[in-house]
Amino acid sequence: MVPVPPGLLQYHVKIETILSMAEDIRSMKMTCGDYKKNYELEYHTKENLMRLIPKTSTGLKHKDVWKIILVIKSVTVDKVCLKGALINQATGELALVSSINAAIQTEYKYRTIQSHDETYKICQCKMIAPLLFWDELVNRLTN
């Protein structure tokens, strides 16, 4: 994975970068004790897309060309976290984005950015996700 400086979003991830992780992911699956970490595959809805597009110059500039490739969701009581991979249909590059609802925002200690859903904010950081996310992303990009 290309290093991402703290405080920057991953907007320009090449598909080849993700596909190059396939062998490592296969290896990790053999010893992984918590593949899902309380996440499940989630629906590709317009609402989820709006929750994953940041209100930044890049997010706004390409608002109409983002498409969900993958979204996973963790729900603990009323706390919702979405992790998504969006493809910019104009450039072919991926954005890797985490978005949290208002219930998590009160305890989240890091910088966030408004999304296109008033109740969700984008975590301003590089993607940290369970193996489920990376495995399924590679799967979807190879089929």
58-112 pLDDT, tens per residue?
777 767 899 999 999 999 999 999 999 999 999 999 999 999 999 999 999 989 9
Handedness of CA 95, 96, 101, 107 (dihedral sign): negative
> Which residues have CB under 8 Å from 103's CB, separation 6+?
77, 78, 79, 80
> Which residue type occupies 86?
L
Q: Which parts of 32-130 fold into alpha helices (H)?
A: 46-52, 57-61, 102-105
* Ramachandran category for residue 37: left, alpha or beta (phi over 0 → left; psi -120 to 50 → alpha): left
Helix (H, G, I), strand (E, B) or coil at 15: helix
pLDDT for the residue 125: 85
Give domain limits for the chain: 10-142
Helix (H, G, I), strand (E, B) or coil at 4: coil
Percent of the chain with pLDDT over 70: 92
Strands annotated E in the chain: 10-13, 39-41, 66-76, 79-88, 94-101, 112-114, 120-123
Mean pLDDT confidence for 107-123: 94
CB-side exposure of 132: number of CA atoms within 13 Å? 18
